[in-house]
Amino acid sequence: MNAVAVAPAREHLRRTWYAFSRNGGSVVGLGIVVAIVLLTTFAPWLTPFPRHARAFTDFEHAGLPPGRPYALGTDTIGRDIFTRVVFGYRFSLLLGVVVLTAAVPTGVLLGLLAGYYRGWPETVIMRITDIFLSIPPLALALAIMAVLQPNLQNAMLAVSAMWWPWYTRLVYGLVSSLRTEGYVQAAQIVGASPAHILLREILPNCLPAVLTKMTLDMAFVILIGSSLSFLGLGVQPPDPDLGTMVADGAKYMPDLWWISVFPGLAILVVVLGFSLLGDGLRDVFGVEV
Amino acid sequence: MTPEPLLQIRDLHASFVSYRGLARVLNGVNLTVGRGEKVGLVGETGCGKSLTMRAVLGLLQPPRARVRGEIWFAGRNLLALPSRELEQIRGREIAMIFQDPMAALNPVFTIGDQLLDVIARHPKGRPSATEAWERALAILREVALSDPERVMRAYPVQLSGGMRQRVLIAMALVNEPALVIADEPGTALDVTIQEQILLLMRSLVDAKGLSVLLITHNLGVVRALTDRVYVMYAGSIAETAPTADLFRTPKHPYTQGLLASVPKLSGEGVPRGIEGMIPDYLAPPPGCRFAPRCPFAQPRCQQPPPWVTVDTDHQVACVLYDAAPAPRLP
Amino acid sequence: MRYSTFLIQRVLLSVLVLLGLSILIFMIARVIPGDPARIALGPLASRSQIEALRAQMHLDEPLYVQYAYYLAGLLRGDFGESLYTHRAVAIDLRDLFPATLELVFYSGLLMVVIGVPLGIVAAVWRDRWVDHTVRLVSLAGVVTPAFVWAIVLMLVFAYALGVLPVAGRLSPGLVPPSAATGTVTLDALLAGNLRAYLDFLRHLILPSVSLSLAGVAQAARLTRASMVDVAGRPYIEAARAFGISESRIALKYMLKPSMIPTVTILGLDFAALLGNAFLVESVFAWPGIARYGVEVILRKDLNAIVAVVMIMGLFFVVINFCIDMLVGYLDPRIRLRQMEDAA
């Protein structure tokens, strides 16, 4: 206890790191995420054949197994799989970031309103949320893809449309319990505006849970996105996408197995990274999501 | 009149691993409960009372908890018993009445289901279904539950707190244990119901001639229910005496402070508290753990306090009474 | 009596959800893309042809009337005609959906009978090597998409080891004598054709394992987490203090309460199997609805899309209803509260 008083910041940091690293997986997750972010940011300099990222043909080196200089082999038109996997990560991360920046604020705002204003806003928002939640996610995405052109933007739109209700429900649950807290009631008594109470008093207390869920959801959004691409409803050729690459390679099984296996493993690695990181954050914040 | 000892705790230590290091909570607890004796263990929240009782039942599990010392019960050292044999003792020879009746019953099974599971473990063998049912109804009547058949079919949520506490007493007593450990029974309930529960416990315990170890922070309860008291502070015993003696002539500065902090019914005087708080178990003071809060502290308190016999059956762990060196208890 | 009130409430809620879904799909299918008649007839159709079809499809009437016709069609199981197969969508579904349902059913079964016991074992031997192994394996399961499992398992067991068939539902030449239900399990067993059933099981292993691995892993993780959480509750310590044996504590006192949160999420996972079946079917050429579903989406075959989405929604709702019933059975608090509310 004395330590807290003497060096609160350092003690806090130490405690946080202890909670985070107690589960060794979280550290691995952090490492994976940082590595992938760096790799994609500097992709043009870190990959051996940046030109292979898009349309490119080199039939002389088509269908080569893993070796030198193609660490993970080449595809049927001679493009380096490793290069394309790294650039594929760009689309995965882009999808995750865009979907979450669209879905999370929407969901959080609706959850705040529904949890704070009892009565009809609660009923309307939560019933609509329930209906969205009761639709199988992939079915909703498919229905939306049905009326739109299959491409990355529309895939992001479809996935966002099915993702916000989870945040509404999460925040709604948090607000429902927070609104009876002393400091919220105190703010109401002194006449603080609802906007102030919601944004300054309640929202900050929801952030740890929301942040943790966002990290875990990066994993699931990337998974769903790659599934849509795998079905041919997401990123379109010649742009590299991990799901599309797996689907392409599946046609040349088992002889050219590396074409689909390595992009598949790449999906596994990124999803694993975000899941482990999310689990670690959950331990640090001590939240249920 | 010293009854034959039934439970004897000797030099019990327990520590826990936490992120800041090892918390040494129990620091050499010595405590004896005689056959047919009603013993109180009092102390502030966090002093290690509940841990002591968990240790007796073998509920402190490694790797989080490290326990050493001896706990002798009816001729066996419980800390040295394999878990299977300990299982045989729990609920049969030593039973436990839990503090929070809201939390100690499994919410998804009926009372009957849970009570019958306990009855099935009767030391004289598993009774037949009808016999077990009869026994369940009988014990529920004994704890003064008016409609035992309905209680048997009820889920915990359907009963009031007081009824649940009675059910827990019934579960503890149904297999006729020799020792009952009661952890602050009724503190989760309101005062009038708590009083009913305590009166009920006293009459049942007296009628059956059970030994009791009552754990509480409530001195009034100790005074009303026990023959002898142990006062615990920060993981070790500060003082023990027959209940009446302790209230008449408290010796340890901590006991004195504890008694002074109880408001008098007559309204005379102002209750005094004890300055400070329980020490940090991660870095406990050397020697007497009460020294930092003690108005009589002196350099000698940096050493472990002596165990001094001040009167028949009245012992205290404090240097203030060490004038004539007294024989040390093991 | 009271339990039936609870039941009726749940049924009404399910109907409400289906209505909501139908409105959503109606909006997506009929309102957003513009003129369905023009889409159906293509860009070369004449004005009078389009007018005729508009009248036939009730598109000249107000939106709510259109919805009423559409809803009436759904209730009769009449989804209209598919532009892709030029057959009634209902018939397409009848031909394709049973195979998907069968795959999903077996995968769900694996999820429960393998995942839950794994979770129990990990929780009971917490922090021992069994636990670490289960946690590692289930982590791998959760983070790997079903289609990647499909490809890896196919590569190993069908191609490299050659112990299991690569694709399809039955070996060529083996046709169950009747097609009464469209599921091999029922058709083969009803006809007493054990050979066909065993052949089917051999074909089933890889698709159902690929499809269920994520669910098995999730079930194990949830069961473990929930058991560990329950293990710390006072009532478990109390049961231990009453001398209840460790095995009884694990399998009775811990298991039932810990299944309450687990079952809810497992239900969602079970329902999600239908979506993921799309991915696995396309790898193993399973004759289910996946290929059809993707084709109709790419061809903007709205009638068929509505049908596919509605049937997925129906499956989801039915599963959720069963889960609600199961949770009500497991948790007397929910059941009693619902009854009080209803009373």
- Which pLDDT tens digit goes with each residue over C190-248? 777 788 888 888 899 999 999 999 899 989 989 998 999 898 888 998 998 898 888 89
Query: Where do we find the tokens 């050659």?
Result: C162
How much of chain B exceeds pLDDT 90, in percent?
37
The structure tokens listed for A267 are: 């999906």
The answer as to whether C323 is a domain residue is no
**C285, amino acid identity:** A
For the cut 70, the answer to whether the pLDDT of residue B151 exceeds it is yes
Q: What's the distance, CA C251 to chain centroid?
A: 28
Instruction: Report the alpha-carbon distance of residue C230 to residue C119 in Å, rounded.
Output: 13
Q: What is the pLDDT, as a whole number, of residue A195? A: 84
Q: What is the pLDDT of residue A1?
A: 39
C-alpha distance from A166 to closest chain B C-alpha (Å): 28
Q: Looking at chain B, which residue has its C-alpha nearest residue C233? A: B103
What strand order describes the sheet that includes B307-311? B94-97, B179-183, B211-216, B38-42, B228-233, B236-242, B314-317, B307-311
Give pLDDT, residue B113.
Answer: 94
Average pLDDT over residues B290-319: 88
**Contacts of C among chains (3+ CB pairs under 8 A):** A, B
| pLDDT tens digit sequence for A71-116 | 778 887 778 889 888 998 998 899 899 999 999 999 999 999 988 8
Say which residues have a Cβ less than 8 Å from residue C300's Cβ, sequence separation at least 6.
A146, A147, C33, C39
Under 8 Å between Cβ of C134 and C122: yes
Please determine, for residue C85, whether its predicted confidence score (pLDDT) is greater than 90.
Answer: no
Residue B326 predicted with pLDDT over 60:
no
What is the predicted pLDDT for the residue at C24?
Answer: 79
The CATH number of residue C143's host domain is 1.10.3720.10
What pairs with residue B237 in β-bridges?
B232
CATH number of B5-93+177-321: 3.40.50.300
Q: Residue C224: inside a domain, yes or no?
A: yes
State how far the Cα of B32 lies from the Cα of B213, in Å rounded to an integer: 9
Quote the CA–CA distance of B10 and B56 in Å, as a whole number. Answer: 11
Specify the residue for token string 């916000």.
A164
- Residues on chain A touching C145 (C-beta within 8 angstroms): 223, 226-227, 230, 243, 264, 267-268, 271
Neighbouring chains to A with at least 3 Cβ pairs closer than 8 Å:
B, C
pLDDT at A232 over 60: yes
- Domain ranges in chain B are 5-93+177-321
Assess whether pLDDT exceeds 90 at residue A144: no
Task: Check residue C343 and give its pLDDT.
Answer: 43
Per mean pLDDT, which range of A234-248, B164-178, C32-46 is the poorest?
C32-46
Q: Of the candidates B88, B92, B104, which has its C-beta nearest C238's C-beta?
A: B104
- pLDDT given at position B34: 92
Closest chain A residue to B284 measured between Cα atoms? A1
Domains in chain C: how many in total?
Answer: 1
Do B173 and B139 form a contact (C-beta atoms < 8 A)?
A: yes
Q: Which long-range contacts (CB under 8 A, 24 or more apart) does C195-202 make?
A: C196/C170, C199/C170, C199/C171, C199/C174, C200/C169, C200/C170, C202/C164, C202/C165
The predicted pLDDT at position C74 comes to: 85
Dihedral, CA atoms, C317, C321, C327, C329, nearest 10 degrees?
Answer: -170
Q: Kindly list the residues of chain B whose beta carbon comes within 8 Å of any beta carbon in chain C.
A: 54, 57, 59, 63, 83, 87-92, 95-96, 98, 100, 103-109, 114, 117-118, 121, 155, 157-158, 168, 171-172
**CA-based diameter of chain B, in Å?**
67
Testing the interface with C: which of B17, B106, B109, B121 to mutate, by most C Cβ within 10 A?
B106
Phi and psi at residue A241, to the nearest 5°: -135, 140
A24-46+69-285: CATH, from 3.90.25.10, 1.10.3720.10, 3.30.200.20, 1.10.3080.10: 1.10.3720.10
Describe the crossing of helices A120-133 and A81-116 by its angle, rounded to 10 degrees.
Answer: 150
Mapped onto helix, strand or coil, the DSSP state of residue B250 is: coil
Highest mean predicted confidence (pLDDT) among A169-183, B32-46, C51-65, C185-199: B32-46
Asked if the C-beta of B63 comes within 8 angstroms of chain A's C-beta atoms, the answer is no
In a domain, C325, yes or no: no
Over residues B61-78, the pLDDT tens digits come to 766 788 889 999 988 999
When pLDDT is averaged across residues C155-162 and rounded to a whole number, the result is: 85
Q: What confidence score (pLDDT) does residue A128 get?
A: 82
Taking the C-alpha atoms of residue C275 and residue C312, their distance in angstroms, rounded to an integer, is: 8
Question: Residue range B179-208: average pLDDT?
Answer: 86
Instruction: Report pLDDT digits (tens) over C100-115.
Output: 999 999 999 999 999 9
CB C110 within 8 A of CB C328: no
Q: Considering only alpha carbons, which residue of chain C is nearest residue A256?
A: C155
For residues C264-291, average pLDDT: 85
> How many residues are given for chain C?
343
Question: pLDDT exceeding 70 applies to what percent of chain B?
Answer: 93
Find chains touching chain B: ≥3 CB pairs under 8 Å. A, C
Query: Which stretches of chain A sit within 8 Å of chain B by CB?
Result: 1-3, 15, 18-19, 22
Q: Residues C25-43: what's their mean pLDDT?
A: 70
Q: For residue C246, which residues of chain B lie inside 8 Å, CB to CB?
A: 83, 87
What DSSP designation does A188 have? H
What is the distance in angstroms between the Cα of C316 and the nearest Cα belonging to chain A?
Answer: 6
% of chain C residues with pLDDT over 70? 91
- Could you give phi then psi for residue B70, rounded to 5 degrees? -135, 140
Q: Do C235 and B117 touch (CB under 8 A)?
A: no
How many beta-carbon pairs under 8 angstroms link A with C? 141
Write out the residue range of the structural domain in which residue C253 sits: 99-302
CA distance A28 to A23: 10
Q: Is A28 helix (H, G, I), strand (E, B) or coil?
A: helix
> Nearest Cβ partner of B107 from C127, C252, C333?
C333
In chain A, which residues have their Cβ closer than 8 Å to the Cβ of B20?
3
Q: Which residues contact C299 (CB under 8 A, 6 or more apart)?
A: C83, C84
In terms of Cα–Cα distance, which of B40, B71, B32, B59 is closest to B205? B40
CA B34/CA B27 separation, integer angstroms: 23
Q: How many residues would you count in chain B?
A: 330
Flag whether C169 is in a domain: yes
CB C334 within 8 A of CB C328: yes
Minimal CA–CA distance to B316: which of B241, B242, B215?
Answer: B241
What is the structure's pLDDT at A2? 42
Give residue A72's pLDDT.
Answer: 79
> Rounded to an integer, what distance in angstroms lies between the CA atom of residue B259 and that of residue B247?
8
C204 belongs to a structural domain: yes
Contact yes or no for C279 and A230 at CB 8 A: yes
The model's pLDDT over B48-61, given as tens digits with 9 standing for 90+, comes to: 888 888 888 888 87
Encoding tokens for residue C90? 């209902």
Give A134 or C86, the one with higher predicted confidence: C86
Tell which wins on pLDDT, B230 or A185.
B230
Do A112 and A203 contact (CB within 8 A), yes or no?
Answer: yes
What is the dihedral sign for C-alpha B102, B106, B110, B115? negative
Residue C133 CB contacts under 8 Å (≥ 6 apart), including other chains: none
Q: Which residues of chain A lie closer than 8 angstroms to B19, CB-CB?
A: 15, 18-19, 22
- Residue C33 confidence class, pLDDT cut points 50, 70, 90: low
**pLDDT of C298-313, one tens digit each?**
777 778 888 888 888 8
Alpha helices in chain C (DSSP H): 2-26, 36-41, 47-56, 63-75, 89-110, 116-124, 129-143, 146-153, 184-190, 194-231, 234-241, 246-248, 255-284, 290-298, 302-330, 332-342
State the Cα–Cα distance between residues B213 and B9, nearest whole angstrom. 12
* Two tokens, residue A264: 């598949």
Residues 6+ apart with CB under 8 A from C329: C335
Compare C101 and A12 and report the one with higher pLDDT. Answer: C101
Interface membership of C119 toward B (CB under 8 Å) = no
Least confident of A2-6, A224-228, B216-220: A2-6
What's residue B133's pLDDT? Answer: 94
Contacts of B81 (CB under 8 A, 6+ apart): B58, B89
Does A272 touch chain C if contact means CB atoms closer than 8 Å? yes
Contact status of C2 with chain B (Cβ, < 8 Å): no
Tokens of A135: 């639709």
C327 or C248: whose pLDDT is higher?
A: C248
Which residues from C are below 8 Å from A95, CB to CB?
none
> Which chain B residues contact residue C2 at CB under 8 A?
none
ω into C33 cis (within 30 of 0): no
User: Is the pLDDT score of C179 beyond 90?
Assistant: no
Calculate how close chain B gets to A18, using CA atoms only, in Å: 7
End-to-end CA distance of chain A: 30
* A7 pLDDT above the threshold of 70: no
In a domain, C326, yes or no: no
Q: What is the mean pLDDT of chain A?
A: 83
